[in-house]
Structure 1
Amino acid sequence: MKPKKSWNPQSSSDCESSLVDFMSSDSDYSDSDGFVQDTETVRKAKVRVAAIVCIQDLCQADSKSFTTQWTLLLPTSDVLQPRKFEATLMTCLMYDPYLKARIASASALAVILDGPSSIFLQVAEYKGSSKFGSFTALSSSLGQILMQLHTGILHLIQRETHSRLLASLFKILTLLVASTPYSRMPGELLPTVITSLQARINEGFSFKNYQTGLLAAAVGCLTAALSTSPSLDVREMLLKETSTGFPETEKKSSVLFTLLQYSEQLTSPNICFESLQALKAVSHNYPNTMFAFWERVSTIVYGILMVATPEFPSRPWKGHTGDPVGFIGEKVITAAVKLLDECLRALSGFKGTEDLSDDKLTPFTSDCIRMKKVSSAPSYELDSKEFNNNEPKACHSGIEQWSEAIEKHLPLILRHTSAMVRGASVTCFAGITSHVFFSLVKEKQDFILSSLINASICDEVPSVRSAACRAIGVIACFPQVSQSAEIRDKFIRAVEINTRDPLVSVRITASWALANICDSIHSSIDDLPSQQSKESNVDSPSIASLTECALRLTKDGDKIKSNAVRALGNLSRFVNYTCLSGSHDKPMDRMRLSINTNSNEESTSSNDMKGSHGNASNSFRPGSMGDLCWLDRMVQAFISCVTTGNVKVQWNVCHALSNLFLNETLRLQDMDCILLLLLRDSSNFKIRIQAAAALAVPASIHDYGKSFPDVIQGVEHIIENLGSDQISAPSSFKYRVVLEKQLTSTMLHVLTLASSTDHEPLKDFLVKKAPFLEEWLKTLCSSLGETSTQSDVEDKSLGDQKKEMISKAIRSLIEVYKDRKHRSTVQKLEELDKSICTLQNPA
């Protein structure tokens, strides 16, 4: 690889001009190259090419092990300054006088960046050459490599004259962009990539036969750069473009103007498609930039859809230049519809499915909230309030834009001959918000609902039905929709039909929509003021249909099973089981359901349970299941899913049991055992967190039943030994603190109830563990003191709540230790309780 003398960059550029018409096939190279007379020089060139090919083969054979050689093969110093005896793949690509060696270098670089080992580049961090000492960390070396690769590739893209090599450069840059963590690189790097590509696109390509292909590759590269994690520098660059209004003198330097211009070139489907993809990436990552372009985007999309009306049948995309405009490929149409979808989401502020969760956060877990990233929602992280406040209110709400889309665009594509186009059009409805939906006139609301129901039931293509089910799952979470029995029943029927589809992908989205419908029903019941209105709202055969459907889906695959368990959890929350005795309704007390999964020892049947209450009659109120057997089957389904389901299924079981515990008409004691087992034995921290949260749901000792001593002892044992837990996966580290805080909250809750117990062995246990509990409570109080000196004023209420929880637990333990004549511990705890009051709240 190391030549005896350094290459001359000037000779490289001289050769480039003579290689324009060089044959692009590797097989055409021979010793008789027209311009090569020196046989020794040709032989050395062939050796270099063979060596590069060997490097490429080694990388393909074991790319992971090959990463140790990156610092030898990839540049760490300025690639624009060739150095003697420094040969890397990049110097070969830039300065080798022979095209064959340069093409081989490009191919090897693409293999390195395209392999699974490229994931290692995610740890790269650029610190600048001046910050290096005697030791250079791997992250810094990788940062230097990425920086020099960017410099060299962008330099070549601006100057390369050979069409095949230029196409390879675009491929390398696309892979390089996908592998680079720009948040840890210089802020100007990503904007430089974008502006360099835009300048090269505007410059054009002189190769008549390859012009369209190279232009499409360049725009595709631009799409990759705009699709990477949003950059504040890129955002500012794009907003500056939008603020200028595109005066004639600045059009050529505008990235957005270039993309809008090429997206209108219907005679070049490749270029049009790539431009639409790039605009979609802009709308997704930089949604505020689209406010200034809605009219232009709407016009472009409408123009494409009008050309592709049913009288001009759509056909698969071929990508040939000069296709008749009437025969626009379905890929171009689909890209246009997806751009429309992304713009509507950006304009209406779509942030994902409506959150109906009513999970109560305790003071100790409230600061552990992790923002959920919704991939289908635009990225609003970089959008400033200042920019938002300057925009018209109507523009931000998206109402006008949605009305326009329903009137102009969607009627043209909902019944399109292409299933791909129909699926994309139905997916648009999955991005609407409740504010926009209920701001539309009733005719437009009905249009959306009827389109979804028809697509989910009547369309022959599974992908379209799946897309319709996803949209139904989104709209079903709108509060006003859940209160309409007519709409809800139509949604239930459509979803239930699709849960029986032979295709797994359809059943997954249908089960997700089913769970959302159940979540919406349970949320609407909690919001209603009176028992009478609750009964009228849910007393429907649809509830029975939902229950049977969810129970059936618990026997499906894990992705479907997790949604089914979530649905059952929501249903179990509002099931009312009462034992009628005379004129008084009493909750079903101490209902025991065996957790033995053996078929011969399954839980008590509904007949046995009915018989155990003599002549008392059983009835269900809101969401009544009509028969206790259904509740029995629910619990057995949870037990089965815990033992056979994956991590997500088990997490949903824990959450479902939380809902079951919140049902005031039921007292299920044995379910605590499942949660304790998961809390103790599961290797997944998220499951353990949810299990600990579920164990804190029962509000009284009576609700815990006979399992209360087991819960206290189990949680105490886990807290005491938490430090010795082995973390199997690196991803679990971030959940360790959350688990500790949830266990703290759960332990304080059950200790608060401990003074009410008459279970003597439990009191003996608490006396035995007095030293640990005293030290643990002291540590909690110390953490409050530390927090109070660092917290903001607005955290005062949170701090007070933490103090109250600790104080209640301490006072409960004091009662227990007084009963056991444990005076020394009582005295220490009383002093600790007094010290809590002296802790200063943040000023």
Structure 2
Amino acid sequence: MAAMERDMRALASGATVGWRRHGESIGRAAARAAGRLRRGAAATERDEGRAEAMRRCWSAFVEFVVRWGMSSEVWGVGARSGVCEALTRLACRRDDEGDGEDGEGTSYKPPHARESDENIAMCEKDACDLRAGACGALGALARLNGKALHGAWATMLPTSEHQLREKSVSTSLVKVIACDSSAKVRGAAANATMALFEGPASRQYLAIAERREAATSAGANGAASSSLAPGFGARVRSFSALSTTLGDMVIITLRALLTALSREKNAQCARELCKAVAALCDAVPFDRFPRDLLRETVDSIHAKLVHLSAETPSDRSTIQSALFGALASALSARGATRALDEYLSSDSSSSMIYRMISHAKGEVAGSRCEAFSVLRALVVHHTGAATLIGDELRELFPSAVCASGADDRVCQASARLLTDYLGSVSGSGQVRDDDEVDFGMIASTPALPSEVLRAAWTNAIESQLPTCALHKSALTRVAGLNVLTRVNSNVLTCFGSDVRTLDSLLSMPHSVLSGSHESVPAVRAAACRALGFLIYLPCVNLEETAAALLIAAEDVSKSVKIPAMWSLANLCAVNATRENRLCDDTVASLAKVLIASAAEQGDKVRASATRGIAHLIAASTFDTSHEWLHKAAQSLASCLTTGNAKTQWNACLGVAALLQNDSAMDVGAYWADFIVRMLLLLVRDAKNFKIRLHAAAALAVGARHERLTLAYVDSVSVLTLSLEALEIQSTAFESQSAMDFKYKPALICQLTTTLVSVLAVARVDGAIGDALKKSHAITLSTYQSLRDYLDGGNSDARVVASFKTAVPLVNKAIFDTSLNNIVASLLATQPSLSARALADAFGALAFSFSHP
């Protein structure tokens, strides 16, 4: 035992050089140590002295796990599972357990073997600290590298309700929450459970979880099998898919957390339970689960809120804050709209909704802000319920809240509620910055009739927004400007020909950027972002907007430059679609700012600047007087190989615009070969699939406009080799990220379209024939897939969608022209039997084949 204790101390201190250098060795050592501790526990815990030594060994082991965690190199899967299992067993272990034959132990001790009350209290405290430390170690591991623990979830989470029974030999963090007598240990277990579900990696892992069966079922005696997870724990299966196993874990864990929350008396522990419920709601796809599950969650949280009156004021404040957070997460969970809309629109939910409104009108600033967060989740994800309480919500908008002298945080929360309400009833919903979408014109069906919608926006323009604009709090002014990002085509329709009202909307961000009274960068940044959305409105004066944004682009604050450059790129995109375009002087000023930003600023600014340059080139007709064209071409060439992925693929779009613009190429034709070869390098070597996709699209545009010049043969070779590499690539092991898997079908289809566009150029070359003969199998397969699509025979939705979005579109005539050129090139190489056989194979794909 002494030797084991020394080993544990050495392990915890990291004294061994090999353990410091090699993470895998550390993992194996930890797994072996965990095994020794598990085996030694049963043999020593009856001996009090040896039991104390064992406790010290466990303590050292927990210290080691927290110290080293996953921060060394990569632990083996077996080591991770072994460590997690050992820590979970330790979290569930109690010193009063025996080692009877049934494995369940007994808490009875004869009088002569009992210790004094003081010693018992000390041992119990040490045991609680040790169990809480084990839970804390698991939480630390999850936060350091949550993805690495996914394989060990089965050792930490239950898949059956029977595993949560106190006398069950099964161990899990949830069992600690359900059965442990110490609030400290329960809180630590809840915190560790929350850590398991936090983060994007866990959301991706749980995205496959599902449980589509009924939420209740009768047991053998006709009664429900359990209050925790009826119908799911009692079922015995010989095999369960991973999605089903994860679904069981979700249902058992969530219901156990809700049950524990309803019974919990300790405020700190209840707070941790609420955080765990919130993390689980954020991670789980509830659209793949029974609808009743989310309703149970909302009802349980509301029931806990109702019974808070019996708590002390400090405890009530602590628990209430956490409950509001959990309720907001439940209302905004994935699938919550489908699961809760009908329930929230019924009378049965009115008490919960009006309780939130009551809290939002209260006197304590903290609870008011949290109640506003719940109402925002309700408004965004449950529009039908929000329209039913529109009159009550108007009492919480800025004109009423700010006039009452409320705290600045409450005023900001009120303005954010106004933003979400107007966006929801207008059909805007949630918005996010995305280079490739015209937000301002995107709209779903509005939730209110046109007259009512107009009245809501009129009230906002005349009363609510001026109140926000004049408020002393900068964050409230920011929230007021964010309302403008919810203006869409539905809002335009409801106002009709009322240009005055729309002009008043546009004047708000203009007054912030053009005047000198606003000194807070966050407000100026919000004004820039608002203009970036409003720029898509047909009544916007592009010259005035360009003048305001050019001023913002020179701002010394980086937080202002980022949205200013994003909005300038949107301005350039809109300019390319208007008949009355910007004058040459304004375009030159825009080009100067964009080119300088693409060369000097950070990645976010560079990406937007590069996109703006692309739109300016596409909308311009050049001659030798346009000095900025040469600098723009150099800037695009630089951005093709530097900066983040977004900068590079926007540079590819800019190069495509350059290759497509005949006047630009007449002025600078010497760029063509250099830029095309840079595109080929990206198609061949770029790790990011989206960069390769946009580079291939730009290359296709160059081929269609016959800009390939000396790189024609190299283009065919690179495209065929890239298609062949994708064909044999095992995406699950070789791609860089999940985004690669997402874009792989689109990349294959774009490479196919680009190859067809390149080979459709009327050119017969023996070198092309040699290149095609080397990769004839993949080329033939590629053409077959495109022919199936053109002929309407391809049923794969992803392939069809990818071909529809490929640039430029390929029709049957271009397809046949490409095949004619392939056949001619093959036969030009040498009229051998193999060449003619390949030519016949390609010719058989043609819709109408003219070559002899």
TM-score, normalising length from structure 1? Answer: 0.73
What residue is the counterpart of 1:631 in the other structure?
629
Q: Secondary structure at the residue paired with 2:664?
A: coil
Partner of 1:660, secondary structure, is: helix
Structure 1 match to 2:408: 330
* Residue 806, structure 1, aligned to residue 815, structure 2: yes
Q: Of 584, 593, 606, which residue of structure 2 is paired with 1:561?
A: 606
Decide which of 540, 544, 551 is 1:490's aligned counterpart: 544
Q: Does 1:576 align with 2:655?
A: no
Residue equivalent to 1:258: 355
In structure 2, how many angstroms separate the alpha carbons of the residues matched to 1:39 and 1:204? 35
Is the contact made by 2:629 and 2:664 (CA closer than 8 Å) also made in structure 1?
Answer: no
Q: What pairs with 1:125-144 in structure 2 (closer than 5 Å)?
A: 125=209, 128-129=232-233, 133=237, 142-144=246-248
1:772, distance to aligned residue in structure 2 (A): 5.9
Tell me if 1:653 matches 2:661: no
2:191 aligned with 1:110: yes
Q: CA deviation at 1:520?
A: 0.8
**How far, CA to CA, are the matches of 1:280 and 1:821 in structure 2?**
72
Give SS of 1:787's match: coil
Give the residue type in structure 1 aligned to 2:121. V
Residue 399 (structure 1) aligned to one of 436, 450, 454: 454
* Distance in 2, Cα, partners of 1:409 & 1:789: 52
For the pair 1:77 / 2:134, whether they are aligned, the reply is no
Q: Residues of 2 paired with 1:798 and 1:656: CA distance?
A: 21
Kept in 2, the 8 Å contact 1:52–1:105? The answer is: no
Is the 1:150–1:173 Cα contact (8 Å) retained in structure 2?
yes
Asked if structure 1 preserves the Cα contact closer than 8 Å seen for 2:614 and 2:657, the reply is yes
What is the Cα deviation at residue 513 of structure 1?
0.6
Give the number of aligned pairs.
691
Preserved CA contact (<8 Å) 1:572 1:660: yes
Indicate which of 127, 130, 137 corresponds to 1:58.
137
Structure 2 runs not aligned, ≥5 long: 1-92, 99-114, 212-231
Matched residue of 1:577: which SS? coil
Change (3 A) 1:154 1:202: same
Local SS of the residue matching 2:760: helix
Distance 1:666 1:126, change over 3 A: closer
Q: Which amino acid aligns with 2:391?
A: E
- For the 8 Å contact 2:369–2:409, the answer to whether it is kept is yes
Q: Which 5+ residue runs of structure 1 have no aligned equivalent?
A: 7-35, 310-325, 360-371, 381-387, 482-486, 529-533, 579-617, 619-625
Aligned to 1:430: 485
Contact 1:229–1:285 (CA under 8 A) maintained in structure 2: no
- The partner residue of 1:734 within 731, 734, 742 is 742
What SS class does the counterpart of residue 523 from structure 1 fall into?
coil
- 1:644 matched to 2:634? The reply is no
The 1:443/1:139 distance shift into structure 2, 3 A limit, reads same
User: Structure 1, residues 159-194: CA drift from partner, whole Å, max 9, x if none?
Assistant: 333444433433332333334443444442222111
Equivalent of residue 526 in structure 2, options 464, 467, 476: 467
Alpha-carbon distance, 1:349 to partner: 1.6
Contact 1:354 1:477 in 2 (8 A): no
| Residue identity opposite 2:402 in structure 1 | A
Q: Secondary structure at the match of 1:538?
A: coil
The residue that corresponds to 2:63 in the other structure is none
Match of 1:689 in 2: 693
Deviations along 1:493-535, whole A, 9 cap, x unmatched? 22122222222221111110111111111121xxx3xxxxx6x
1:223 and 2:320 aligned? no
Report the CA distance shift for 1:200/1:149 in structure 2 as closer, same or farther (over 3 A): same
Indicate conservation of the 8 Å contact 2:645/2:691, yes or no: yes
- Report the Cα offset of residue 774 of structure 1: 4.5
Of 464, 479, 504 in structure 1, the residue corresponding to residue 558 of structure 2 is 504
Q: Equivalents in 2 of 1:771, 1:112: separation in Å?
A: 52
SS of residue in 2 equivalent to 1:567 = helix
Q: Tell me which residue corresponds to 2:294.
A: 190
Give the superposition deviation at 1:779: 5.5
Q: CA separation in 2, counterparts of 1:131 and 1:748?
A: 55
Aligned to 2:504: 447
Q: Which amino acid aligns with 2:747?
A: L
Shift of 1:418: 0.6
Aligned to 2:601, the other structure's residue is in SS state: coil
1:279-303 deviation per Cα after TM superposition (whole angstroms, max 9, x unaligned): 111222233432333332223215x
Deviation, structure 1 residue 492:
1.6
Q: Between the two proteins, what is the percent identity of the paired residues? A: 23
Change (3 A) 1:69 1:680: closer
Work out whether 1:308 is the aligned partner of 2:402.
yes
Contact 1:675 1:695 in 2 (8 A): yes
Post-superposition CA distance 1:588-610 (Å, at most 9, x none): xxxxxxxxxxxxxxxxxxxxxxx
The alignment's TM-score, normalised by the length of structure 2, stands at 0.73
The structural deviation recorded for 1:66 is 6.7
- Give the aligned CA root-mean-square deviation in angstroms: 3.9
The residue type paired with residue 548 of structure 1 is: K
Partner of 1:205: helix, strand, or coil? helix
Q: Does the 8 Å CA contact 1:346/1:378 hold for their aligned counterparts?
A: no
Secondary structure, counterpart of 1:45 in structure 2: helix
| Other-structure match for 2:342 | 239
Paired residue type of 1:695: L
Give the letter for the 2:715 counterpart: V
Counterpart of 2:280? 176
Q: 1:438 to 1:546 in 2, by over 3 A?
A: farther
- Aligned equivalents of 2:765 and 2:846: distance in 1? 29
Equivalent of residue 752 in structure 2, options 724, 744, 747: 744
1:712 pairs with 705, 716, 724, which one? Answer: 716
Letter of the 1:230 counterpart: G
- Contact 2:827 2:836 (8 Å CA) reproduced: yes
- Which AA in structure 1 matches 2:549? V
Aligned residue for 1:550, secondary structure, equals helix
Question: Which is bigger in relative contact order (C-alpha 8 A, separation at least 6)?
Answer: 1
Structure 1 CA distance, aligned partners of 2:776 and 2:353?
Answer: 68
Kindly state the Cα deviation for residue 560 of structure 1 after the two structures are TM-superposed. 0.5
* Distance (Å, rounded) in 2 between the aligned partners of 1:269 and 1:476: 37
Corresponding position of 2:205? 123
- Residues in 1 aligned to 2:191 and 2:441: alpha-carbon distance in whole angstroms: 31
**Contact map agreement 1:344 1:401 (CA 8 A) in 2:** yes
* Residues 791 and 467 of structure 1, relative CA distance in 2, 3 Å threshold: closer
- Secondary structure (helix, strand or coil) at the match of 2:300 reads helix
Instruction: Report whether the alignment pairs 1:456 with 2:456.
Output: no
Q: Answer whether contact 1:308 1:327 (CA < 8 A) is retained.
A: yes
Alpha-carbon separation, structure 1, partners of 2:778 and 2:322: 66
Q: For 1:153 and 1:352, locate their aligned partners in 2 and report how far apart those are by CA, in whole Å.
A: 30
Distance of aligned partners of 1:544 and 1:132 in 2 relative to their CA distance in 1, 3 Å threshold = farther
Aligned counterpart in structure 2 of residue 541 of structure 1, from 576, 579, 585: 585
SS in 2 for 1:350: coil
User: Residue by residue, what CA displacement relative to the aligned partner does 1:220-243 show, whole Å, maximum 9, x if unpaired?
Assistant: 221121122233543xx333443x
CA 1:737–1:204: 2 relative to 1, 3 Å: same
Paired residues of 2:341 and 2:385 also in contact (CA < 8 A)? yes
Select the residue among 653, 662, 665 that pairs with 1:664: 662
Letter in structure 2 aligned against 1:176: L
Q: One-letter code of the match for 2:820?
A: R
| Inter-CA distance 139–700: structure 2 relative to 1 (3 Å threshold) | closer
Question: Is the CA contact 1:463–1:506 (under 8 Å) kept in the aligned structure 2?
Answer: yes
The correspondence for 1:673, drawn from 657, 674, 677, is 677
Deviation of 1:428 (Å): 0.8
- In 1, the alpha carbon distance for the partners of 2:190 and 2:430 equals 39
Q: Is the 8 A contact 1:284 1:377 kept in 2?
A: no
